[in-house]
Amino acid sequence: MISLQGLAYCESARVGGDKMDEAISSYVRRNYNLLIGEGTAERVKLEIGSAKRTPESDNVSTYVRGRDVARGVPSEITLTQAQVADAVAEPVARIVHVVRSALEHTQPEIAADVIDAGITMTGGGSLLREISTVLEYETGLPVRVADNPLTCVAEGAGQTLEDPTYRGALLAI
């Protein structure tokens, strides 16, 4: 959390797109005895991934191809959005935990600003369907996705390094 030209709180968890891909791969192997690669898990996440089940989740699906572990031959299954939501539930819960922890450790003055401004999500994980809804529900705060979530952190860090007023915000990182 950056506030008042400095780092107000810092906590990191190695949870993001790669962990979600691993969770999807593990789910498919555990439930269908099918090995899928990183690329397939990423495709599934991008096509039908969701942080929570919705009424339409059982109707949205995609085909997944991989190697049947028992027979050693290629195989294909249908995976629904509801199943993907179940698969990524643990990484999403970890993200929620880190956000709540950061909010709990925030100074009262900064917490008041967060109530007014809300939470801005960045990174590829913020593009997962319904993740902002999950965070809004769990924190009670407004949540929005940054305009360019994939590049905004790098762009902001670059701007911060160029501006001597804000340079101190990155010194503790």
Whether the per-residue pLDDT at 24 is higher than 80: the answer is: yes
| Strands (DSSP E) found in 38-83 | 61-68, 74-80
Compute the distance between CA of residue 160 and CA of residue 2 in angstroms, rounded to an integer: 11
Whether the per-residue pLDDT at 173 is higher than 80: the answer is: no
pTM for this prediction: 0.85
Quickly state the pLDDT bin for 31 (edges 50, 70, 90).
very high
Quickly state the pLDDT bin for 154 (edges 50, 70, 90).
confident
**Superfamily covering domain 1-173:** ATPase, substrate binding domain, subdomain 4 (3.90.640.10)
Q: Cβ distance 69 to 33 under 8 Å?
A: yes
What H or E segment, with its residue span, contains residue 137? helix 131-139
Quickly state the pLDDT bin for 128 (edges 50, 70, 90).
very high
Quickly state the pLDDT bin for 172 (edges 50, 70, 90).
low
The predicted pLDDT at position 2 comes to 67
Whether the per-residue pLDDT at 171 is higher than 80: the answer is: no
